[in-house]
Structure 1
Amino acid sequence: FFSDLSKDYTARPNNNALFFSIFLPQSTSQTMSILYEDEFVRLGQFTLFVKNYHFPTKKTKSISLEAITTLWFEEQETCKSSTTKIWGKASSASIYWALDVKRSLGSLSPRPPAKSNVVVEVGAKLRVGFSVENIDEFMDAIRTLLDYHVIIVNYINLP
């Protein structure tokens, strides 16, 4: 009946997700539960997608929301440049940044609406950093999805 019964569907939190993953194309099931999206990030019901993450392919990094233990955020204009980088690993912090060519410009260049930097800890050696265009909308959406144990800090001051 089904061509691939070997998939493990037990990790899905409800039967509706199972139905959608079996009977609907992957792109349809993912777009149905997008709570926030901009040019840097897409937030789904169970997954955070960081766009333009991997160097040099610019592929998207998928992060399970259950894996996030700590989240830091700060406006780019007030964020210390020593903890940020346009793309790749920041030298002074254990953060790997997704691509944003204007992240480290600070007040040197006029920018459209203020963006923010976000860093998430997922239990790996490197934290994941990315930009967000509308931090209020992003934080409102992600707060409803994260476990109550997740620590949220409104500044990025990492060693």
Structure 2
Amino acid sequence: MFREAGFVYLYCAIEQYEDGALKTMVKSQTTAHIARGMSNLGDLGFMVGVSLLYGFPYGSEDSIRATLDFTREWVDKGVVKLVSESVLSFHPGTPEGKDKNCFFDRTPPNYGHPWDRFEEGQWYHPSHVTPKYLEKILTASEEWFSHALVRNRHSWVKRNIT
């Protein structure tokens, strides 16, 4: 139906590709649902953009690696054309953000590299989200998605394998 209506591109959130993380985030989908959905979109000929989300306090190196591996698989298959990376941030009105200065017209508490490479990277995050943590993710991401369009807060980067 969507293809007949002219839709050729869909944007969806993977966030984390690890069942424990999805359950803790109170998401209704599982990795099996995500994999089946990606397969269906690919079979129908859709180009897909995905959102990955890092910085969960309960996240692990394994969950990040699983997310990167899964996304890389679909980039390599030519289905995923855009990877958008975000870092968990505390928003006004949430329990985590209630004591923060959340006026987004003010100078953010984190700015410059690597914070500006992530959507909402400049604002408030769990204490374990440090520049070193983000650098590890950026390095892995650049290696994993070397031939995809990677969207970060201030950059659209098309990388080609040489």
TM-score by length of 1: 0.30
TM-score by length of 2: 0.29
